[in-house]
Amino acid sequence: MLAVIEILALIFILIAGIKITIVLISPKFWIEGVVKKIWSHPATMIMCSLAAAGVTLYFLLEVITMVQILAVTLFLSLLMMAGVAMFALDFIKFAEKLYEKKAISKKTLPYIVIWIALLLWGLKEIFF
């Protein structure tokens, strides 16, 4: 029988493997058939992502600590940073466009609050 953490890893492996396979075989299908359809409903995407993140966090906390989760988050953030760096000029233009509107902080406030809560939780575990 697989442990919870192995099941979570297997879910990730399957989803990532399917994505990579589709992107390598037919990038156009990935954009047209998947990305545009999923991302054309941002509110649904946000709710589904947050629900899945909450469930995942719940199960992760059964076997590891918040500090360990944050350490893995550092690793993944650095890995994603390397991937985004290939598109640095486009990313800078995109970021400038977002921050010009000055509504970015209001729009992302719930997301920012979640991150602050997770960071404070990690600090609490480390120092208290």
pLDDT digits over 55-93, tens only?
A: 999 999 999 999 999 999 999 999 999 999 999 999 899
Can you give the pLDDT at residue 100?
78
String of b and e for 18-43 (b: at least 16 CB within 10 Å)? eeeeeeeeeeeebeeeeeeeeeeeee
More confident residue, 100 or 118: 118
Specify whether 80 is located in the same domain as 121: yes
Last residue of a domain, one of 40, 63, 86: 63
Residues 21 and 54 in one domain: yes
Domain residues for 10? 1-63
| Residues 38-56 pLDDT 10s | 999 999 999 999 999 999 9
